[in-house]
Amino acid sequence: MSARLTITKTPKCYVGGAFIRSESGRVFELKDQKGEFFANVPLCSRKDLRNAVEAAAKAGPGWAKRTAFNRGQILYRVAEMIESRVEEMAEALMLGGATKVEATKEVVAAVDRIVHYAGWTDKYEAMLGSVNPVASAHFNFTVTEPMGIIGVLAPDERPLLALVSLILPAITSGNCVVALASEARPYPAILLGEMLAVSDLPGGVVNLLTGKRAELVPTFATHEHLRAISGVVNAEQRKALRLGAAESVKRVRLGKAEEAVDWEAETMQGLEEIRALVECKTTWHPVGG
Amino acid sequence: MIMARASNKTNPARELVFGDLWEYDAAPETADPKLKKRYDLFINGQFVAPKKGKYFATINPGNEVKIADIALGDAADVDAACKAAQKAFTTVWGPMPGKERGKYLYRIARLLQDHAREFAVAETMDGGKPIKESRDFDIPMAAAHFFYHAGWADKLEYLAPGRQVAPYGVVGQVIPWNFPLLMLAWKIAPALAAGNCVVLKPAETTSLTALKFGEICQEAGLPPGVVNIVSGAGETGAAVINHPLTSKVAFTGSTEVGKLIMRSLAGTEKKMTLELGGKAANIVFEDAPLDQAVEGIINGIFFNQGHVCCAGSRLLVQESVAGEVLARLKRRLATLRVGDPLDKNTDIGAINSKEQLLKITELVKGGVAEGAEMHQSECRLPAKGFYFRPTLFAKVSMSHRIAREEIFGPVLSILTFRTLEEAVEKANNTPYGLSAGVWTDKGSKILKMSTLLKAGVVWANTYNKFDPASPFGGYKESGFGREGGKQGLMDYCKVG
């Protein structure tokens, strides 16, 4: 009897709650640590990006309307889904060159980061909003609202922790995300998609693309339905994104890929990150009859 | 009894339109604005001549008479101002304890109150706004902004719990001509409270009160370089925005220029806040208290000649009351007094500049050409100066230019809607998102509308209300960042 042939997985991108290949049919080759063929990863096109934005637009209103408590439960569920598969995710990171110790450390840090944000969903508003004591007979208050769809560009360093650190503050407040995974190390994002799919996160809230950054940056920059861009990119891409953002006064929050980032630092998570991706709305409500 | 009531209905009382029948006596404000013939740049605590020695005239748009010569600052002057600001930041203002910084701001607030009437007259002469507005709104509100932010200076650590906040250093600020001193206060007060030093470029047509503010800084003993005012034209503003020492820039003005600024800073890591244009919907439901709503609509569009980024320039009125609202608006329009900005009875003053008057005129012509129904006040306009009749357009559709473009003048476009959903759809169908108004008797409807409207400020049963404690700023192409409240102050702080 011959040895059983293992089933290899075809990596697919998680978009709109479904697993897709690129509409272009293109793939790029991913090699393992030994330099041997591992898998063909979708080489997403600009059209894929636009489709993902559409999927996010469909999911957006529903996600933003979920109660803060419900969003917290769902984010916590996401953490549960990764925690139970730490080893598998660590292997995905090792594929990109991380040692087992490093990889495991990164995965648990990512899980902890998700738990951190799960706890913020029903608290950030109390910190960022306000009741404003105006000098007239009005109940004047400021609340935050999600911006809408956020474009995320993840760096190659810490391909899971950085990706998660960029996505979570966006979805905590009810935004949806279209994220481009690390170009050099896309596999953790593929796996993350599979984990999100079995969490309770509604399809379309997080959409994960793989592909060439240089090809997709121009569309990220100018797509008017992306209301903000959050990511870590190089100087040239920062300029391109900001130039494109000017066309529709898009909000831009970019870190420098050329500088080392301590993704595990406490200051890489929390209220400031949430604040960067919400709008403030002030209402003047009359008081008295 | 019944007959009497019926006859009342068919023969309504004559309108009490005083306008031409019964002239008001002139009631000019006569306080001395204490103006100089020539204004230099305010750099490093001193008034200095521009390096190239160029000046331009500022005129009174109410009578086209020249008021003074204003220094035309260029890139070299901006450079000197930025260096002075940087020096003040590193040597004096940055190291100064917050409670001491706050005391300077309190002093400035008090001095503005002391000089309020003088500033009000100067503001009205230079910009054309009615004296009752500069006297009762612009100047007191400017002082209030300094007073409010003074108290923040020693409490910054409460802004971002668990994090370190720090000033940016030198902040470059460029402000518009519609609320010259008030926009200055909105910019300078939070910047200084947070520990920054500023280089501010006032609008070309309205530099007077900004330069007079330099005198207030001197009187307050503010350390040299903390506040620098560089008057000039567009290039002067660009030099402020692009100067390498300004690590943060704040701009209020048109969306068009806002986008230019975003592009010119694309290759830098400068922080930005932009407060840009608007095309706000003022939404009147059938259950609204109509008399109050009509006053609010009038104030929403004719306040400051409609030179307001958040002006309620699109009236969305529920179909069932549209006829009634239009009739009342036309009646109210006839009683508005347009004329000498310095006259205490004037409701609508002068358009800020000839250029703006031409722009308004062109857009209004377009409105007529596109088939909207125009109603204008028949008031007499002064022979000299830039004036425009308050104008209503009925039967406007969403595709009309007057319903889409910011007119920045006393021109209201009236559209109708049937359901709440349609009102929201129409209100949000614009690239702008600065403000909105809602008129209804029902509190829950106010809150529902406020949730659905994509706008940074929602006024319910009121319009054009401002307060230093209340954050102001836009969604979408109306810009980003807030001014006022803790949210506005945060935009002047680095969070580490």
> Does any CB of chain A come closer than 8 Å to the CB of residue B455?
yes
Whether B200 maps to a domain, the answer reads yes
* CB spacing of A140 vs B461 below 8 angstroms: no
Residue A90's pLDDT is what? 98
Instruction: Choose among A130, A140, A282: nearest Cβ to B456.
Output: A282
pLDDT in tens, B94-145: 999 999 999 999 999 999 999 999 999 999 999 999 999 999 999 999 999 9
CATH number at residue B378: 3.40.309.10
**Spatial contact of B83 and B244, defined as CB atoms under 8 Å apart:** no
Mean pLDDT of B189-199: 98
Catalytic pick among B29, B123, B133, B275: B275
Whether B469 maps to a domain, the answer reads no
Closest residue on chain A to B458 (Cα): A283
| Mutant choice from B467, B472, B477 vs A, greatest count of A C-beta within 10 A | B467
User: Which of B375, B282, B281 shows the shortest CA–CA distance to B329?
Assistant: B375
pLDDT of residue B161 exceeding 90: no
Q: Which band of pLDDT confidence, cut at 50, 70 and 90, is reported for residue B16?
A: low
> Does any CB of chain A come closer than 8 Å to the CB of residue B442?
no
pLDDT of residue A57 exceeding 80: yes
Q: Amino acid identity of A141?
A: F
pLDDT of residue B11 exceeding 90: no
Are B247 and B126 found together in one domain?
Answer: yes
Are B486 and B417 found together in one domain?
Answer: no
Distance CA B253, CA B237 (A): 12
Higher model confidence: residue A226 or residue B20? A226
Task: Give all domains of chain A, ordered by start, each with its CATH number.
Answer: 20-30+38-286 (3.40.605.10)
The β-bridge partners of A153 are: A180, A231
Are B128 and B164 found together in one domain?
Answer: yes
Residue B3's pLDDT is what? 42
Mean pLDDT of B150-176: 96
Whether B184 maps to a domain, the answer reads yes
Distance CA B78, CA B238 (A): 10
Q: Positive or negative CA dihedral for A86, A89, A91, A97?
A: negative
DSSP A241-285: HHHHHHTTT-EEEEEETTS---TTSGGGSSHHHHHTTEEEEEEEE
| Mutant choice from A124, A268, A280 vs B, greatest count of B C-beta within 10 A | A280
* CB spacing of B478 vs A249 below 8 angstroms: yes
> Does any CB of chain A come closer than 8 Å to the CB of residue B450?
yes
Mean pLDDT of A256-261: 95
Q: How many domains are contained in chain B? A: 2
Are B61 and B82 found together in one domain?
Answer: yes
> Does any CB of chain B come closer than 8 Å to the CB of residue A10?
no
Taking CB atoms and an 8 Å cutoff, what residues of chain B touch A140? 467, 469-470
* CB spacing of B458 vs A245 below 8 angstroms: no
> Does any CB of chain A come closer than 8 Å to the CB of residue B495?
yes
Are B114 and B154 found together in one domain?
Answer: yes
CATH number at residue B119: 3.40.605.10
Q: Which band of pLDDT confidence, cut at 50, 70 and 90, is reported for residue B10?
A: very low
Taking CB atoms and an 8 Å cutoff, what residues of chain B touch A139? none
The β-bridge partners of B288 are: none
Whether B470 maps to a domain, the answer reads no
Are B85 and B183 found together in one domain?
Answer: yes
* CB spacing of A249 vs B473 below 8 angstroms: no
B15: its two tokens: 């309108």
pLDDT of residue B194 exceeding 70: yes
> Does any CB of chain A come closer than 8 Å to the CB of residue B469?
yes
pLDDT of residue B262 exceeding 80: yes
pTM: 0.95
Higher model confidence: residue B31 or residue B12? B31
Are B250 and B328 found together in one domain?
Answer: no
Whether B153 maps to a domain, the answer reads yes
Are B244 and B301 found together in one domain?
Answer: no
| Beta strands in B335-475, from DSSP E residues, in sequence order | 373-376, 391-394, 411-417, 435-439, 457-460
Mean pLDDT of A207-218: 98
Mean pLDDT of A240-264: 97
Whether B6 maps to a domain, the answer reads no
Residue B21's pLDDT is what? 62
| Mutant choice from B251, B442, B476 vs A, greatest count of A C-beta within 10 A | B476
User: What is the helix, strand, coil percentage profile of chain A, to 5?
Assistant: 40, 25, 35
Instruction: Choose among B263, B443, B485: nearest Cβ to A246.
Output: B263
Nearest-Cα distance to chain A for B267, in Å, is 5
Residue B378's pLDDT is what? 86
Closest residue on chain B to A137 (Cα): B462
Whether B465 maps to a domain, the answer reads no
Are B206 and B336 found together in one domain?
Answer: no
> Does any CB of chain A come closer than 8 Å to the CB of residue B135?
no
> Does any CB of chain B come closer than 8 Å to the CB of residue A65?
no
pLDDT in tens, A9-21: 999 999 999 999 9
Q: Which band of pLDDT confidence, cut at 50, 70 and 90, is reported for residue B329?
A: very high
Residue B5's pLDDT is what? 42
Distance CA B96, CA B416 (A): 56
Taking CB atoms and an 8 Å cutoff, what residues of chain B touch A228? none
pLDDT of residue B6 exceeding 80: no
Tell me which residue range forms the domain holding B400: 281-460
Helices (H), B370-456: 401-404, 420-428, 443-452
Are B259 and B288 found together in one domain?
Answer: no
Question: pLDDT averaged over chain A?
Answer: 97
Q: Which band of pLDDT confidence, cut at 50, 70 and 90, is reported for residue B1?
A: very low
Whether B405 is catalytic is: no
Question: pLDDT averaged over chain B?
Answer: 95
Q: Which band of pLDDT confidence, cut at 50, 70 and 90, is reported for residue B380?
A: confident
Mean pLDDT of A177-199: 98
Are B270 and B286 found together in one domain?
Answer: no
**Spatial contact of B374 and B392, defined as CB atoms under 8 Å apart:** yes
Phi and psi at A142, nearest 5°, equal -120, 125
Residue B393's pLDDT is what? 97
Residue B4's pLDDT is what? 41
Which residues 147-186 of chain A have a CB within 8 Å of chain B? Answer: none
Are B216 and B363 found together in one domain?
Answer: no
> Does any CB of chain B come closer than 8 Å to the CB of residue A272?
yes
Whether B32 maps to a domain, the answer reads no
Residue B9's pLDDT is what? 42
ipTM of the complex: 0.95
> Does any CB of chain A come closer than 8 Å to the CB of residue B331?
no
